[in-house]
Amino acid sequence: MATVRNPLEPMSSAVKGIVTLIAVALVAGVLSALFVDGAHLQVLGIGDKSVCVMDTSTTMGGGEVPPSEFKPAPGATVDLDAHPNYCTTDPTTAQSLLHTATQVPPFVFSVGALLLVLLLIRGAEGDGLYTARTAGRLRRLGWWLVAGSVLAAIAESTTEQSLVHSLSRNPDDTTVTGLLTWDMPFMAVLTGLGVLSFARVMRIGISMREDLDGTV
């Protein structure tokens, strides 16, 4: 009798491999910080000696830029390119926390999506593909991709603008600016909507199969 291949491959192996690599990298970083001289743990900006942030809400135009328009705060510098980039080598505690906060939302969203996919795969391998539990896990993944990506984008934008405000003297750079200039994560939202649609199709198919089984 021929062996039935896992229908969840190659996604199953890929997701498990990515989760394993992330775990190994985190453990290696912690061990090196503890036992290697001169090494320090750098995760989500924690431990960075300098802080930089790009003001993506402002686009540089052609011609000479008025110096007063992009003036850095004391202790900070500005690099004028397509977007002004503010940096400091002596960040305050608040600036370090904001620097970390800008990296937390996309990290939490990505790790959460990976874990939900991993739970979906393990559940499908145990319960079967066409079950109500699998459809429910798929639905949770879809909502995470839709809502989580939007919330992560808003949180990242607002914390970035708060950091820009602390490093510049531009009165227009405030947290409110981040609420107005965040970028819609179209690919994540469209993917999430597709997953939600597929979960709905699965639930309908499961219901129809149960009705047929009940009539036999």
Ranges of each domain in the chain = 92-215
- Which pTM does this prediction carry? 0.80
DSSP symbol at 162: H
E strands along the chain, which residues?
51-54, 77-80, 84-88
DSSP symbol at 83: S
pLDDT of residue 155: 93
What are the residues whose beta carbons fall under 8 Å from the beta carbon of 118, sequence distance 6 or more?
15, 16, 19
pLDDT of residue 69: 66
pLDDT of residue 61: 60
pLDDT of residue 1: 41
pLDDT of residue 84: 85
**Residue among 44, 67, 47, 46 nearest 168 (CA):** 67
* CA–CA distances in Å: residue 141 to residues 20, 50, 155, 183, 206: 20, 36, 20, 21, 19
pLDDT of residue 172: 67
Backbone angles phi, psi at 185, to 5 degrees: -80, 75
pLDDT of residue 190: 95
Question: What are the pLDDT tens digits along the chain (216 aa)?
Answer: 445 566 777 777 888 888 888 888 878 776 776 666 555 556 667 767 888 888 887 776 655 455 566 788 888 888 877 788 899 988 888 888 899 889 899 999 998 998 999 899 888 888 777 888 888 999 999 999 999 999 999 999 999 989 988 888 876 666 677 777 788 999 999 999 999 999 999 888 888 777 666 655
Question: Of all residues in the chain, what percent are helix, strand and coil, respectively (each to 5)?
Answer: 65, 10, 30
**Residue among 1, 169, 208 nearest 77 (CA):** 169
- Answer whether 85's CB lies under 8 Å from 50's CB: no
Question: Which tokens go with 35?
Answer: 């036992």
